[in-house]
Amino acid sequence: MAILEVKDIKKSFGKTEVLKGVSFSLNEGEVLSIIGSSGSGKTTLLRCINFLETADSGLITVDGDVIFDGADKSKKNAKETREKQLKIGLVFQQFNLFPQYNVLDNVTLAVKLQAKERPDYKQNKKQILAEIEEKALKLLADMGLSEKIHNYPCELSGGQQQRVSIARAMALEPKILFFDEPTSALDPELTGEILKVIRELAKTNMTMVIVTHEMTFAKEVSDYIVFMDNGVIAEEGKAQELISNPKTERLQAFLSKISD
């Protein structure tokens, strides 16, 4: 069964319809890449799934739970929304690390706040916090950041900052991790380290949705690719096939423009 189902998502800003009915689904452990030229609605789609925007209509299901239903107009309970939010994670193009916290605290802050709501928090506080820390250290080690845990974001390169933000998202153990052009804010020589980290995550069967302009990377790391154009999915398919053998003219044009 699909872990993520997105059905007929529509979203307008004022009079401009940015998403004109987008549907796709994703199986657990698979990687989906979303490609498409700038302005085609990729970021808006990710933001709608991650509650940063509210879609006008459509249905989103994660792991069988409806996290968004456009037909349900009742006022949303903030606590429930947060619980749904925690099922998924988002890595921003601009990292958005918390500047006043060091690397380790960036990764543990939200998890620790989350832990406070556990009924056994008061009794087992020490142990719970130690476990959170240990897990964060493990994640940061996986990201190659063990040396940097006490550094502040302003002391890190862009690539290191993005790796911290990936660790921060992973620390909440999301079922699906979304990336919005995770390498676009980086100097070209730093994109490699991020792509490597994402490849490693893919090997651990992390379910991921990646908006990217790195075609070679998308082709190699993803199971499935969706091509967005002007607010709709213009073409989709198995990664290798879609890139090597595009069927629509729009995708052909997009791919030839990118490879220039």
Partner 1 sequence: MFSVVNKELLEGFLYNVELFTITLLLSLPLGLIVAFGSMSKFAPLKVLTRGFVWAIRGTPLMLQLFVVMYMPGLVFGWQIPGSNPRMTAAVIAFVINYSCYFSEIYRGGIESIPKGQYEAGQVLGMTKTQTFFRVVLLQVVKNIVPPMSNEIMTLIKDTSLSNVIAVTEIIMAANAFSGKGLIWPLFYTGIFFLLFCGILTIVFNKIEKKLDYFKS
Ligand X SMILES: Nc1ncnc2c1ncn2[C@@H]1O[C@H](COP(=O)(O)OP(=O)(O)O)[C@@H](O)[C@H]1O
List residues near ligand X by CB under 6 A: 13, 18, 36, 38-44
Judged by CB under 8 A, the chain residues 190 through 229 that form the site for partner 1 are none
One of 38, 71, 74, 154 touching partner 1 (CB under 8 A) = 154
Quote the least distance from Cβ 32 to ligand X, whole Å. 15
Residues 6+ apart with CB under 8 A from 115: 121, 128, 129, 132
Binding mask 99-118 for partner 1 (x = CB under 8 A): xx--------xx--xx----
Contact in structure between 228 and 40 (CB atoms under 8 Å) = yes
Q: Is 90 in the site for partner 1 (CB under 8 A)?
A: yes
Judged by CB under 8 A, the chain residues 27 through 66 that form the site for partner 1 are 50-52
One of 27, 54, 96, 244 touching partner 1 (CB under 8 A) = 96
One of 6, 31, 34, 43 touching Mg ion (CB under 5 A) = 43
CA distance 123 to 45: 42
How many residues sit in the footprint of partner 1 (CB under 8 A)? 27
Q: Is 40 in the site for Mg ion (CB under 5 A)?
A: no
One of 168, 170, 193, 218 touching partner 1 (CB under 8 A) = 168
**Residue 114 interacts with, from Mg ion, ligand X, partner 1, none (CB under 5-8 Å by kind):** partner 1
Between the CA of residue 26 and those of 6, 46, 50, 103, what are the distances in Å?
A: 9, 14, 16, 32
CA 124 to chain centre: 32
DSSP string, 71-121: T--SPPPHHHHHHHHTTEEEE-TT----TTS-HHHHHHHHHHHHHTTSTTH
Q: Is 179 in the site for partner 1 (CB under 8 A)?
A: no
| Residue 55 in tokens | 């879609």
Between the CA of residue 102 and those of 1, 25, 105, 128, 176, what are the distances in Å?
A: 40, 37, 5, 20, 26
Which of 145, 52, 148 shows the shortest CA–CA distance to 93? 52
Neighbours of 172 (CB within 10 A): 16
Quote the least distance from Cβ 221 to ligand X, whole Å. 19
Quote the least distance from Cβ 39 to ligand X, whole Å. 4
For partner 1, which is the closer residue by CB, 118 or 238?
118
CA 99 to chain centre: 21
Q: Is 89 in the site for partner 1 (CB under 8 A)?
A: yes
Quote the least distance from Cβ 135 to partner 1, whole Å. 15
CA distance 90 to 180: 8
- The residues of the shown chain that bind Mg ion, judged by CB under 5 A, are 43
- The residues of the shown chain that bind partner 1, judged by CB under 8 A, are 50-52, 78, 82-83, 85-86, 89-90, 92, 94, 96-100, 109-110, 113-114, 152-154, 168-169, 172
